[in-house]
Amino acid sequence: MKHLQLLIIIPLIIALFMFNGLVFQDVWEWFLLPLGAPSITLPQSLGILLLIGFPLRHVARTEHLKDVEEYAKTWLGLSLGLAGTLIFWGTAALVNLFN
C-alpha cells in the first residue's frame, strides 16, 4: 500500500514543481523582463526555484509517511501548495494589469 501511495504522490509532486516553474516563468516575464532582465526558459526557471529552495529544504524537513494520517496530511500539503501557487499567480496577474 505504501508503494502505491508513493507512485501516486511522486508524480503529483513533480507536476506541481513543473507548474510552479511555469508560474515563476510568467511572473519573471511580467515583472523582470520590462526592467531589462533576460527572458528565461522553463528549465532555467526550475533551476532558479531549486536554487532558492535549496537552503529552505534544510529548515522544513518532512518525515516519511508512516500511516494513513500522514498520507492525508501529504494530500493536504499538495492541495495547499497548488492553491498557494494559484493565488500567487492570480495576484501577480492582477498586479501586472496595472503595470
Per-residue pLDDT, 25: 97
- Residue 67 φ then ψ, to 5°: -155, -175
Instruction: Give the sign of the dihedral formed by CA 50, CA 56, CA 66, CA 69.
Output: negative
Q: How far apart are the first and last CA of the chain?
A: 50
| pLDDT for the residue numbered 22 | 95
Question: What distance in Å separates the CA atoms of residue 60 and residue 44, rounded to the nearest whole number?
Answer: 24
Look at the chain and count its residues. Answer: 99
Task: Pick out the chain residues at pLDDT < 70.
Answer: 1, 55-72, 99
Cell of 52: 532558492
- pLDDT of 67 reads 59
Q: Which of the 8 DSSP states describes residue 42?
A: H
Report pTM: 0.71
pLDDT digits (tens, 9 = 90+) for 28-43: 999 999 999 999 999 9
